[in-house]
Structure 1
Amino acid sequence: MGNNEFDLVILSDCVLDIYYRVGELPIKVGDVAVSDIIALSPGGACTTALVTRKLGLNVAVIDKVGDDPFSDILIKYLNDNGIHTGFIKRVHGFVTISNNIITNNGHAFMGYLGVGRELTVDDIDENIIKNSRAIYINGFYASFTVGIVNTFIETIRTAHKHSVQVFLDVGPAINNRDLIISLIGLSNTVFMNEDEMKRLFGDLENLTNFTGSTGIIAIVKLGSRGAALVRNGKIKWCKPYDTGNIVTTIGAGDTFNAAYITGIIRDLDPVESCNLGNRIAFLRTQHLTPMELPEIREIIK
């Protein structure tokens, strides 16, 4: 890593996922649904942290979690997988929880927004950013609170000051559209799925025009159809991988991001990194949780 302490620092949306599997959805008023499994795993941006670590990067997380037992579990899982948690601040309250309810035909979420939405610039040490090769910001909370957008903007400016690459996932993009677009304009690489792209830009042509000659790389994840890589006014298509035997697609997008970022840090070009993202995202769908993924660093050696 040279003089860099970390290959990647991950900022915001480190959550605890709880998985259930039921016979069918929706679960209606008066129904009694019993899951035949339960599993816990780091989720959100910490899925990205977990997968980048499995791909061989040295990874740290900056976030806020609570003083609750779920936060204890989350931090233990991260530590057990070799992810640096010393920059996670613990405060009174609860970590963000996502209850992931899956069936053979899809999934639903029920969650709670925890103390992570209160992350501020004061929680982030500039030296951590300075001594990293890249930062990854998960923009989930940007749809729900304006304050954290300011935190992201200041962190991105700090990264650029020290010539640190900035990767951004736009999050669901259901609110605060203009603020999220401003974050995109400040980033080096942005990730979104097709629905998020439509909410922000309407269509791929508008996204292509927006990025234009800015040098921003935008990647639109298309599920079983692969991904579109938008750069310098041109679109390149990244091939999909086999989509058979899917256990769940939850976290596949976060996994794609992890593999793409790892590819770039390991000096693959953007298209190669995009194809790697599809490959590792497919592997993610073969397991209930990302913790079940095997060590996969040999894939890009």
Structure 2
Amino acid sequence: MVTLGETMVLVYPSTTGPMKHAHEFEKSLAGAETNVAIGLARLGHDVGWYSKLGTDPHGEYLEFFVRGEGVDTTTVEFTDEAPTGIMFKERREFGEPAVHYYRHGSAASLMSPDDLPVDYLTNAEYLHLTGITPALSESCRDATLLAAERATEAGMTVSFDPNVRRKLWESDERMRETMLDLVSLSDIVLPGIEEGAALFGTDDPEAIAAACLDHGAGTAVVKLGAAGAVVADGSTTERVSGYDVERVVDPVGAGDGFAAGFLASRIEGQGPVEATETANAVGAFATTVAGDTEGLPTRKELDVFVGERDAVRR
């Protein structure tokens, strides 16, 4: 699989509570596309990632980290024209953490169709895209649509997670127009309930799945959090139960883990329902660890989690 999109340095306090009272911070990374790429790499698959990073220590760190996880970064570009994006995330004991972005005018926002490594991006079985990248700039929007079009022409399977970030869009109308264009170019669409409501005006998961199929998708998987997911492929629609997690440590990144699990299973030849079961397991596992990528499981960890292998501690 190959993917493209922005990855930022993630900075978070060492303690829980409001950011304004924090004095010590730790560093990691955050990016929906690299979360999926790293998730697939940990499950044993060959993955590549394209992006633009600033020629700065933050860009060097991100490329080093992603490459160290086994993801191919040979097409990643560095530029002096803009810095690498940064985001800060508060730590809270309960509820969604507050996130603060410093990504406007970032290096990744300079991605354009002219720079796109089309041959590289179409030399794989799958292309995974999200709705975040086209929201960064007009040139990113054009590059994302071009990647989807070229992948479709090459006979690849295109996967799309809407990942709606309303703060990044100039208007809801522009957001919906772009998202629906990408849905129509995709074989697999992976929305959540809120994203389905934003795109189709309904929070009914079966209706969201049907709307994705009506717009051209071959398979739609609607994420329901702890309740699991609804998967539809035009012939059947099924609800697949989720996994109970004793304590959710960090919900951020669970959706990307879900996508990684689903794509890994499809690449391995599993059907949509079986792939959704795996996706639910990876997404649930990801919530048990703080951080966007830290909780993505290896194949052995996943097997233990779903009960297919006994844990050996020593």
TM-score w.r.t. the length of structure 2 is 0.84
Structure 1 counterpart of 2:121, from 129, 133, 138? 129
Structure 2 counterpart of 1:109, from 99, 114, 126? 99
1:64 Cα deviation (Å)?
0.9
Contact 2:2 2:124 in 1 (8 A): yes
Q: What per-residue deviation string (whole Å, max 9, x for no partner) do you get for residues 37-66 of structure 1?
A: 624134321111111100011111011111
SS, match of residue 237 in structure 1: strand
Kindly report the root-mean-square deviation, in angstroms, between the aligned alpha carbons of the 2 structures: 2.3
Structure 1 residue 32 corresponds to structure 2 residue 25:
no
1:63 & 1:217 partners in 2: Cα distance? 27
Aligned partner of 2:67: which letter?
A: N
Change (3 A) 1:193 1:206: closer
Change (3 A) 1:104 1:228: same
Structure 2 counterpart of 1:150, from 138, 142, 146? 142
1:130 Cα deviation (Å)?
2.9
Structure 1 residue 162 corresponds to structure 2 residue 154:
yes
Aligned partner of 1:9: which letter?
A: V
Structure 2 counterpart of 1:244, from 243, 246, 265? 246
Aligned partner of 1:14: which letter?
A: T
Change (3 A) 1:43 1:130: closer
Name the counterpart of 1:12: 5
1:210 Cα deviation (Å)?
4.8
Greater strand proportion: 1
1:276 Cα deviation (Å)?
0.6
Larger RCO: Structure 1 or Structure 2 (Cα < 8 Å, ≥ 6 residues apart)?
Answer: 1
Contact 1:248 1:286 in 2 (8 A): yes
Name the counterpart of 2:79: 91
Contact 1:10 1:136 in 2 (8 A): yes
Q: What per-residue deviation string (whole Å, max 9, x for no partner) do you get for residues 216-244 of structure 1?
A: 22222121111122331753212111122
Aligned partner of 1:19: which letter?
A: Y
Contact 1:212 1:232 in 2 (8 A): no
Contact 2:260 2:279 in 1 (8 A): yes
2:257 & 2:11 partners in 1: Cα distance? 17
1:238 & 1:20 partners in 2: Cα distance? 36
Change (3 A) 1:226 1:217: same
SS, match of residue 103 in structure 1: coil
1:212 & 1:47 partners in 2: Cα distance? 29
Change (3 A) 1:98 1:238: farther
1:167 & 1:10 partners in 2: Cα distance? 10
Tell me the matched-pair count. Answer: 289
1:202 & 1:11 partners in 2: Cα distance? 28
Change (3 A) 1:98 1:222: farther
2:163 & 2:55 partners in 1: Cα distance? 26
Aligned partner of 2:231: which letter?
A: L
2:226 & 2:85 partners in 1: Cα distance? 29
Name the counterpart of 2:52: 64
Contact 2:180 2:215 in 1 (8 A): no
Structure 2 counterpart of 1:77, from 65, 68, 72? 65
1:23 & 1:134 partners in 2: Cα distance? 39
Aligned partner of 1:69: which letter?
A: P
1:299 Cα deviation (Å)?
4.7
Q: What per-residue deviation string (whole Å, max 9, x for no partner) do you get for residues 187-231 of structure 1?
A: 111122211111111113255145239452222212111112233
SS, match of residue 224 in structure 1: helix
The sequence identity of aligned pairs, in percent, is: 21
Contact 1:65 1:115 in 2 (8 A): yes
Aligned partner of 1:87: which letter?
A: T
